[in-house]
Amino acid sequence: MTDEEYAAVNRLNSYRNRIHLVLILGYFKVKPVCLVYGWKDIADDYRYVAERYFPSASKQNKNIDRQTRGRLYHAVFSIVGYQRYDQPVELELLTYLNKRATLYVDETQLFKDMVALLESKQMAIPRYSTLQKVISSVVNTEEARLAALIGRHLSNKDAFFSADRSQ
């Protein structure tokens, strides 16, 4: 932990919140996502951090509520210079990916582009279901655009489709 990180941790009042901040900060540095975890997921890590940095702290089950987790993530974002994924970011992301989709409609590549853009803008990566929703929206938008384009430029659609079946 850097001196700045250690100072931010020590500004918190309770050992429980200090320990959770150290955990969240460490997890976030490994992968910039906002995790929701249970005691079983972090018990060993919690005890390790408590013993290493706060030996007088209780090592028993000390989970945090949603509001506390949000405040701790806000502190992490401040420490590492990241921002939370929100609606304006999603709109910017959709605009960017819709432009990319005009070049290729490859879900895997769009996903990689999305994560790269989020990382370049130092945004926390949202949960996977949110990423899937964005990719689905982009693919559906591009499919609709292509269908409309084909519809406008194809003068005799019935002849085109019947000719395709006869071959």
Radius of gyration of the chain (CA): 24
Residue 139 CB contacts under 8 Å (≥ 6 apart), including other chains: 101, 105, 107, 110
Q: Verify that 73 and 108 share a domain, yes or no.
A: no
Q: Which of 80, 111, 134 is the last residue of a domain?
A: 80
For residue 95, the model assigns a pLDDT of 96
Q: Verify that 76 and 102 share a domain, yes or no.
A: no
For residue 166, the model assigns a pLDDT of 53
Instruction: Give pTM, 2 decimals.
Output: 0.77
State which residues form the domain around 159.
87-166
Q: Which of 25, 59, 80 is the last residue of a domain?
A: 80
Averages of pLDDT over each 10 residues, the chain, 167 residues: 91 92 95 88 92 86 86 94 92 95 92 94 92 95 91 71 59
Half-sphere exposure of 30 (CA within 13 A, CB side): 6
- Look at the chain and report how many structural domains it folds into: 2
Phi and psi torsions of 121, nearest 5°: -95, 5
Q: Verify that 54 and 113 share a domain, yes or no.
A: no
* Residue 138 burial (C-beta neighbours within 10 Å; 0-12, 13-18, 19+): buried
Residue 124: which of 157, 83, 163 has the closest Cα? 83
Instruction: Identify the bridge partners of residue 123 per DSSP, sorted by sequence position.
Output: 83
- Rounded Cα distance between 140 and 118, Å, is 21
Q: Verify that 10 and 72 share a domain, yes or no.
A: yes
